[in-house]
Chain A
Amino acid sequence: QQQVKQSPQSLIVQKGGISIINCAYENTAFDYFPWYQQFPGKGPALLIAIRPDVSEKKEGRFTISFNKSAKQFSLHIMDSQPGDSATYFCAASDYGQNFVFGPGTRLSVLP
């Protein structure tokens, strides 16, 4: 019940395309859903996050869509750039106590 599922495992997108990564959870106590971006050899960095009281949050080219009833959320990267090539992790937390990460999606954006 603590698991967060993430797909796809890897994703290849052409420059300018839309990258979509999906996550699903079971624990209805989760109330915070961040996305992290990790470049090789670096630590994960917070990209964008959402709480379940809204269905969408947009920051620049990055958008989180949240479906509370389906217990799913997704990250959309518009106008994908080669510099976006990284591993993306979704995560879920309940009041900061339990913090669970998805297994990650390796994104490659081709020039």
Chain B
Amino acid sequence: NAGVMQNPRHLVRRRGQEARLRCSPVKGHSHVYWYRQLPEEGLKFMVYLQKENIIDESGMPKERFSAEFPKEGPSILRIQQVVRGDSAAYFCASSQEQGGSTDTQYFGPGTRLTVL
């Protein structure tokens, strides 16, 4: 029973490059959440998606950041033209279908992005 999977676990990019972070939710989960965590800080909500829909992107920077959760395949968090301030750990979480327990979020191991 695989949990949330994220890859890559570590990603190094130079300023101006693109970063693509992938998240495969728990099997049967259709709700995906992305969070950012800076060193020694808490989790900051970025975006909440269901299959093919963005439900809440209020925590996502307006520029350079985008997220998708296609019908098939993993959820992708994309950061274009990365800057040093994007360096952080990015966590994905998933929860069940409506009617199940959508409250309980299960987290992946995170992707640690370093921008040189």
Contact = CB atoms under 8 A, between A and B. Distances in A.
Contacts of B56: 97-98
B31 interface: yes
Interface in B31-74: 31, 33, 35, 41-43, 45, 48, 55-56
Interface stretch (A12-20, A41-49, A62-70, A77-85): A41-49
B108 A103 contact: no
Contacts of B107: 36, 43-45
Nearest to B91: A43
Contacts of B108: 43
A98 B31 CA distance: 13
Interface residues of B, number: 23
B104 interface: yes
A58 B94 CA distance: 25
A97 B103 CA distance: 8
Contact of B109 (A34, A43, A102): A43
A49 B95 CA distance: 15
Contacts of A44: 43, 91, 107
B17 interface: no
Contact of B42 (A34, A46, A49, A89): A89
